[in-house]
Structure 1
């Protein structure tokens, strides 16, 4: 039940962040907004750890691994994903990002020697087919012009980067490093990396003090980063990066369910069938003793 709760937290929170991100777009460059989000989240976790006296010391080697986790999972992947969204439909981005289910299995086998579960592989493939069906209207409009093709490559690069971040997180979990300590340092390193890139690109580091921007930033930092990444990284340690990655198939669907209520999204029969496939794949992946 503990893993089920962690799974639900990850899916529901990340599924709801899509609407919050809309309020971040505007006067502040995306790279800076993401850096603000990571820095605020890191500050909150550090404050909690210091007050609870749980800020455990780490070796330089572990700091290096956490730096890589932060670079890949909390910042670097966004550097690829955000530019890609300018030229690709959000549905296609969601489908490409969902391939992390397969990438985590492959990278887990290569870098951590984890066995590839047949049920997880079958469930992941079924879920991926379901995602294609859910977003089929947007996929049918894909134009493989130069900009779109480059954006597609960027999207795959961002997904691969996030998958590597999952592997570093799994490695840190195998070393029994505290999840919140890893997340705090990782988010700090990720935020500093993004601020550094912004400065190199000459991007102004600003803050929009409008209520909608500040409120969405707080939601993304507290729930989207602190809570959801705590749940997700803990889940990686509990059930492995391959099964935890199935959340990447579910939270875009949750985002569509929210869009149905607040934005009038219209479901098709193919979309409903795809949603059922995603749920079926999830059952195969998460059932006890999947092997």
Structure 2
């Protein structure tokens, strides 16, 4: 139990702080493509090193490599590119709040790709989530002066969150086919880095830019703690307490991110913002609580 709580707290803190690290990294005006490239190049190198050291790196098929390539595009590439660009338009803490809607996208994609039945509670959760986003950004979008940049930031975050969800579906497919999750994650990170490198070269970006020390530290933090340690801790937690229970972390780390943003970026809490955040988190809670109760009910039936 103590180990589960430690892992859970670790995931919440690590993923709650990565959003501010993204903001600090961008202060050197490093290209988002280059930033994502270095983050996952370092992360994949570290993860491969650990797997090789402990003889845990598994051989995978060509089909698995193709899925890893797609996963790299979705979860370790273009989705982060969206978030890195969005941080120029909206607060990093608000990015984390929007990202918490990933659970709703997961439900939709699970229905599309795996024919899983969508719970009736999903629609209530979705209404809360959409209403929460509207309330959260009401002042910026519908206020005295319309701010198209804010709207662009919201769209980018939603695109990034949906990409993350697609990556989750690919991870589920890996697990359904019995592949080692750490091996596939390492390859997916590597492929994501290669894709971002290719994109940077095509655009003529400098892949070894001169950046400030704070940005260098931010990249290392994102690669080591946010990517390798964060994902590994999360996957271990999933194995110990189940995916549904581990997913509760998405309710908490956005609040950590927003608290840090309040201190570091001077985010101002308005009545609309508080109401919107409560609606978004409530929507996620409604969905998760329903899933957990359904699981307990089925287990009870099986015992009887």
| Superposition TM-score, scaled by structure 1 size | 0.81
Q: Is the 8 A contact 1:123 1:284 kept in 2?
A: yes
Give the corresponding residue for 2:180.
Answer: 178
Q: Match for residue 37 of structure 1?
A: 39
Unpaired runs of 5+ in structure 2? Answer: 296-304
The CA deviation at 1:59 is 1.3
Distance 1:133 1:102 in 2: 18
Cα distance in 2, alignment partners of residues 119 and 45 from structure 1: 38
Shift of 1:253: 3.0
Indicate if the aligned counterparts of 1:179 and 1:234 stay in contact, CA closer than 8 A.
no
| Structure 1 residue 64 displacement after superposition | 1.2
Q: 2:229 aligns with which of 227, 230, 243?
A: 227
Cα deviation for residue 9 of structure 1 reads 3.8
Q: Equivalent residue for 2:293? A: 289
Residues 72, 161 of structure 1: 8 Å contact kept: yes
State the shift of 1:41 in Å. 0.6
Counterpart mapping for 1:137-286 below 5 A: 137-140=139-142, 143=146, 154-208=156-210, 210-232=212-234, 238-239=242-243, 244=247, 250-286=252-288
Please identify, of 60-69 and 9-18, the stretch whose mean Cα deviation from structure 2 is larger: 9-18
Which residue is 2:21 aligned to? Answer: 20
2:78 aligns with 76
Aligned CA distance change for structure 1 residues 214 and 153 (closer, same or farther; 3 Å)? closer
Distance 1:56 1:69, change over 3 A: same
Partner of 2:77, secondary structure, is helix
Partner Cα separation in structure 1 for residue 182 and residue 236 of structure 2: 9
Matched, 1:126 2:128: yes
**Aligned twin of 1:109:** 111
**Greater shift in the superposed pair: 150-159 or 56-65:** 150-159
Provide the aligned C-alpha RMSD in A.
3.4
SS in 1 for 2:160: helix
Q: Is the 8 A contact 2:20 2:92 kept in 1?
A: no
Q: Single out whichever of 114-123 and 162-171 deviates more from structure 2.
A: 114-123
Partner of 2:299: none
The alpha-carbon deviation at position 118 of structure 1 amounts to 3.1
SS at match of 2:76: helix
- Kindly indicate whether the alpha-carbon contact (under 8 Å) linking 2:102 and 2:162 is maintained by their aligned counterparts in 1: yes
Q: Give the deviation of 1:89 after TM superposition.
A: 6.2
Deviation at 1:156, TM superposition (A): 4.1
**Equivalent position to 1:55, from 54, 57, 62:** 57
C-alpha distance in 2 between matches for 1:259 and 1:47: 34
Q: 1:268 to 1:79 in 2, by over 3 A?
A: closer
2:30·2:211 contact (CA, 8 Å) conserved in 1? no
Conserved in 1, the CA contact under 8 Å of 2:80 and 2:160?
Answer: yes
DSSP-derived class of the 2:293 partner: coil
